[in-house]
Chains A and B, each alone.
Chain A
Amino acid sequence: MIHSLWIPAFRMKMDVVPGRYNKAWFKATKIGEFPLLCTEYCGTGHSDMLTTVVVHPPGGYEDWLKKASNMLSPVFRPADLTDAAGLLRALKTGGAPVRVWLLERLAPETREKISAWPGGAVSEELRKVVVDDLNAVLTGDPIYDEARFAGVAVSEEARQLLAADPPPAGDDRIGLNRFLLVDAFPDALSRAPDLTEAGRYIYERKGGCRSCHSVDGGANVGPTFKGIWGKTHAMRQGPPVTVEENYIRESILDPNAKIVSGFDPVMPTYRGRLTDREIDAVIAFLKTLAEEK
């Protein structure tokens, strides 16, 4: 369905067309709440497709973000582990059911490493192993259980997702799990999202892009991602293509539509395997690899 994003107070409007990226910008100069509406007819619920835009005073957005928005990046990155030592201590001490349960869910090697940890500074390697395991928990079964979370102050966002009917699935469930983990270990895990890091995570783990695409310029099955953003590639067929959002999206969903000259059409489609939000994250990650001019 085509929708159109309209914020009358900002005098801006842009259609939201499936399968392509459109750009729009505005500069909000007044603090307050302003209506946001859909203006492209999209079916029976068209006139209910509205919300408000909140313009925060300086700093207000960061406060809100801390509370609300890990939905954007449903994964942990090493930097999200704000107090690694605190988390490991809590896991070693046990006690609360949720701590015991989480330790049980971690991989046996990780458990061994945690029990072997002498306390004090946490090595980069251990931090990374723990974060990877936490992400594995997120993508697993729903983690909520009343007995397990007894004594944990569940945040409003998590409460809303828990009350959802039907129960949250896909990204929403991962987001819920993440909310709950942050609620259970509020001092150790940060809520602040980072799309770029989410993209790196997908590149390295979830999508496994790195098995064919290097980021250091090394030769591989597919073109390297080093400096890929904004680069113009010659194609096996058709005109050369400059790498931008639409091309990346197409290459992920329909990899054989355009093949870079010198490579074979061997990439499988990621349609249904990566969500739109995850593709956004990959794009954000690729942008960080642009070559400095």
Chain B
Amino acid sequence: MSTVEAAVPGAEPRSYLQEGRGIRSWIFTLDHKRIGVLYLVSVMASFLLGGLFALLVRTELLTPQRTIMDAQTYNQMFTLHGAVMIFLFIIPGIPAVIGNFVLPLMLGAKDVAFPRLNLASWWLYVVGSLFALASILIGAVDTGWTFYTPYSTETSTAVVPMTMGAFILGFSSVFTGLNFIVTIHKLRPAGMGWFRMPLLLWALYATAIIQVLATPVLGITLILLIVERVVGVGIFDPALGGDPVLYQHFFWFYSHPAVYIMILPAMGVVSEVISVFSRKHIFGYSFIAGSSIAIAFLSFLVWGHHMFTSGQSPLANTIFSALTFSVAIPSAVKVFNWLATMFRGNIVLKTPMLWILGFIFLFGIGGLTGLFLGALATVIHVHDTYFVVSHFHYTMFGGPVMALMGALFFWWPKFFGRMYVEFWGKVSAVVVFIGFNVTFFPQFILGLRGMPRRYYNYPPEFESLHVLSTLGGYFLSIGFLIAFFTLVHAIFRGKKAAANPFGAATMEWQTSSPPPLHNFVEAPHVGDPYDLAGLVYDEASDGFRPAAKEGSS
């Protein structure tokens, strides 16, 4: 590199945001950082859409009878909420936004291994989303996001465009996963062995394995469903000689691993943030790394726990129950290691840390209630009730969404080179945390007392808890609006961010904020990603710098 900027010591290199202007420089970019930003915009738009559907669903549930919409519309709303949140928001969320931006930086690399494949995966995401949106316009699906047969083969709504959309989004997910696997294998810098990688990379690697191995099964399943609907070949529909429970097996063979596609990267984010804001080396590095791989492996063996009441044999139920419990072990390994990292640490309660502490608390509840659902004696009662709805949101909202927000507040200075207003960041984290619990904790009680999920009308004795839940949902939304305004405000009005504002030792903080097009002007120093001792606070830049070097660079 012999650019003028690099030659002048102390001068800021031109950032990736300044390389090229106009829409074409963005939508045809090969830069992993810009693709990360493209994903950020599209994934957040999906989040707002999915959130809007959720608010409509919660509003309808304010009264036991009709409130604002009819039963058919309600069924479409909860289906769209689920499908949009899962396929368009949570699955691509952390890997495609944070992973794309941060992964090559953490490796000290210029880009991912296959930049064109990376761009293709974003375009597939866009095409898949358009299919999903088209299905909303021509007759939104009302099957539930699981598309269970035989309902999905018989309903008159637009099942084919929606499943086609999910099929295409699957390819996007596979491409991203493939790219990350190759990048981690081939682009690690000299000196970074597997066990010197930041834990987020272990998590993204484990995620990518699941993406690549499990997603094709969903693709095949959805294609079979489409073939059955369009051509009338009997596969799942008993009227055509098919078996509807076969669909459930196929579907969950992907969709159970898919919840680990959602949670594993979130756990990776927690491992990064918790160490930085405890000002302490991560505790039990190799156990956290290994537990990611263990979760990825076990995730393929537990799908049958979605079919405990389908008439599956008691023997199969017992085996799946035992395997389900085994997932608790690597999950608990992570949680205890995070707690041990915080123990006797110098905990700094900045915005990212608040989100991540929210993650640990909510995911803890989600994980522990998962044991109720893994135990055959209790799951028979609570299966398909609000208990499951609540458990799912405690794990998938309390997990990946809290972690994604924490990650955005953590890497936002790196993304855009600007600091947000700390106060409003903290307010948003606290409001979301409270709103979340008010929304979803009552749903555990509802489920235990006999409230089935996906009910438009419900018995009047459940009304007060439903009202509480809905009010919590409104409060929760306010928290997210504050977070979005805080982040967007930072881009335009934020204070200039230092290269390393929080004092982290991973390599992305060694380059400027925001980074230049090729990420690093000088080759970054490869060291222990959690050795925070060598960093000192520099008041002038409001950031951290290496202590050893004498103030320069």
Closest to B307 in A: A15
Asked if B454 and A41 make an inter-chain contact with CB atoms under 8 angstroms apart, the answer reads yes
Chain B, Cβ-Cβ closest to A1: B151
Quick check: A254 and B241 within 8 Å, CB to CB? yes
Task: Kindly state the separation between the CA atoms of A35 and B452 in the bound complex, as whole angstroms.
Answer: 12
Is there an interface contact between A4 and B309, defined as CB atoms closer than 8 Å? yes
In the complex, residue of chain B having the shortest beta-carbon distance to the beta carbon of A38 = B452
> Which residues of A from 237 to 261 have beta carbons under 8 Å from B?
254
Pick out which of these stretches binds chain A: B182-190, B381-389, B508-516: B381-389
A35 contact from B148, B453, B459, Cβ within 8 A: B459
Which of A9, A13, A20, A47 is in CB contact (< 8 Å) with B455? A47
Instruction: Verify A19–B381 contact, CB threshold 8 A.
Output: no
The answer to whether A17 and B72 have CB atoms under 8 Å apart is: no
B310 within 8 A of A: yes
- The residues of B that contact A38 with a CB separation of less than 8 Å are 452
With A14-B311, A18-B244 given, is the CB distance from A43 to B150 under 8 Å?
A: no
What sequence of 0s and 1s flags, for each residue 179-202 of chain B, a beta carbon within 8 Å of any chain A beta carbon?
Answer: 000000000000000000000000
User: What are 11 A-B pairs at a CB distance below 8 A?
Assistant: A4-B384, A17-B238, A17-B311, A19-B244, A21-B311, A38-B452, A39-B385, A43-B75, A43-B142, A45-B71, A47-B455
- Candidates B154, B245, B380, B454; contact of A46 at CB < 8 Å: B454
Cα A277 to Cα B334 with chains together (Å): 54
B456 and A46 contacting across the interface, CB-CB below 8 Å: yes
Q: Which residues of A contact B383 (CB under 8 A)?
A: 13, 39
The yes or no answer to A12 lying at the interface (CB within 8 A) is yes
* Complex alpha-carbon distance, A239 and B148, angstroms: 30
Residue on A nearest B381 in the bound complex, by CB: A11
Q: Which of A11, A18, A23, A45 contacts B380 (CB 8 A)?
A: A11
Interface code A159-171, partner B: CB below 8 Å = 1, 0 otherwise?
Answer: 0000000000000
Distance of A23 Cα from B309 Cα, bound (Å): 10
- A2-B150, A40-B384, A42-B151 are known; give 19 further A-B pairs, CB within 8 A: A1-B154, A2-B244, A6-B450, A9-B450, A13-B384, A17-B310, A17-B311, A19-B238, A19-B244, A35-B459, A38-B452, A39-B383, A39-B385, A39-B453, A41-B454, A43-B151, A43-B155, A47-B455, A47-B456
With contacts A17-B311, A35-B450 known, is A46 near B455, CB below 8 A? yes
Q: From B73, which residue of chain A is reached at the shortest CB distance?
A: A44
Contacts of A39 in B (CB 8 A): 383-385, 452-453
A145 within 8 A of B: no
Instruction: State the interface size on chain A (CB cutoff 8 A).
Output: 32
Within 8 Å of chain A (Cβ to Cβ): is B464?
no
Per-position binary interface string of chain B over residues 34-77, scored 1 when its CB falls under 8 Å from any chain A CB and 0 otherwise: 00000000000000000000000000000000000001100100
B321-355 vs A, Cβ < 8 Å mask (1 yes, 0 no): 00000000000000000000000000000000000
Main secondary structure of the interface of B (DSSP, over half): loop
- What's the minimum C-beta distance from B402 to chain A, rounded to whole angstroms? 28
Q: Say whether A37 faces chain B, with CB atoms less than 8 Å apart.
A: yes
What is the CA–CA distance of A14 and B455 in the complex, to the nearest angstrom?
A: 18
CA gap between A35 and B384 in the complex, in Å: 16
Q: Which of B243-262 contact A (CB under 8 A)?
A: 243-245
Contact with A along B513-526 (1 / 0, CB 8 A): 00000000000000
Q: Does B144 contact A (CB under 8 A)?
A: yes
A48 within 8 A of B: yes
A4→B380 CA distance, assembly (Å): 11
A217 within 8 A of B: no
Enumerate the 7 nearest inter-chain pairs by beta-carbon distance, A residue then B residue, closest first.
A8-B450, A22-B311, A19-B238, A47-B455, A39-B384, A18-B238, A39-B452
Chain B 231-243 interface 0/1 with A at a Cβ cutoff of 8 Å (1 = within): 0000000110101
Task: Say yes or no for B458: interface residue by CB 8 A criterion.
Answer: yes
Q: Are A48 and B457 in contact (CB under 8 A)?
A: yes
Is B243's CB under 8 angstroms from A19's CB?
yes
Q: Are the C-beta atoms of A44 and B72 separated by less than 8 Å?
A: yes
CB distance from B149 to the nearest CB of A (A): 8
Chain A: residues with CB nearer than 8 A to chain B?
1-2, 4, 6, 8-9, 11-15, 17-23, 35, 37-48, 254
Question: Roughly how many angstroms separate A14 CA and B155 CA in the complex, as a whole number?
Answer: 23
What residue of chain A has the Cβ atom nearest to residue B452's Cβ? A39
- Nearest chain B CB to A36's CB is how many angstroms away? 10
B238 / chain A contacts, CB cutoff of 8 Å? 17-19
Q: Which residues of A contact B309 (CB under 8 A)?
A: 4, 13-15
Do B311 and A44 touch across chains, with their CB atoms under 8 A apart? no
Contacts of A2 in B (CB 8 A): 148, 150-151, 244
Digitize B446-483: 1 where CB-to-A-CB distance is under 8 Å, 0 elsewhere. 00011011111111000000000000000000000000
Find the A residue at minimum CB distance from B241.
A254
Closest to A10 in B: B381
* Chain B 56-115 interface residues, beta-carbon cutoff 8 Å to A: 71-72, 75
Tell me if B144 and A41 are in contact (CB < 8 A).
Answer: yes
What is the bound-complex CA distance between A274 and B381, given in angstroms? 35
Q: Closest B-chain residue to A50, C-beta based?
A: B459
* A21 CB contacts on chain B under 8 angstroms: 311
CB-contacts of B404-455 with A (<8 A): 449-450, 452-455
Choose from A4, A17, A37, A41 the contact partner of B151 (Cβ within 8 Å): A41
CB neighbours of A42 from chain B (8 A): 151
**Within 8 Å CB of B456, what residues of A?**
46-47
- Determine whether the beta carbon of A13 is less than 8 Å from that of B310: no
Contact between chains at A13 and B75 (CB < 8 Å):
no
Chain B residue at smallest Cβ distance from A34: B450
- Smallest CB–CB gap between A279 and chain B, Å? 14
Bound CA span A11–B381, Å: 5
Q: How far is the CA of A43 from the CA of B452 in the complex (A)?
A: 14
In the assembled complex, how far is the CB of residue A249 from the closest CB belonging to chain B, in whole angstroms? Answer: 11
Measured CB to CB, the nearest residue on chain B to A257 is: B241
Q: Given A11-B380, A15-B310, A39-B384 in contact, is the A47-B71 Cβ separation under 8 Å? A: yes
- In the complex, residue of chain B having the shortest beta-carbon distance to the beta carbon of A5: B309
What residues of B have a CB within 8 angstroms of the CB of A35 in the complex? 450, 459
Which B residues are in CB contact (< 8 Å) with A19? 238, 243-244
A6 touches which of B244, B384, B449 (Cβ 8 Å)? B384
Most A CB contacts (10 A, CB to CB) among B239, B383, B449 go to B383
Q: Point out which of A6, A17, A41 has the most chain B C-beta atoms below 10 A from its C-beta.
A: A41
Residues of B close to A20: CB separation below 8 A: 245, 311
Quick check: A17 and B245 within 8 Å, CB to CB?
A: yes
Name the contact of A47 in the complex, choosing from B142, B150, B457 (C-beta under 8 A): B457
What CA separation (Å) do A23 and B143 show in the bound complex?
26
Q: Is the CB of A41 within 8 A of B148?
A: yes
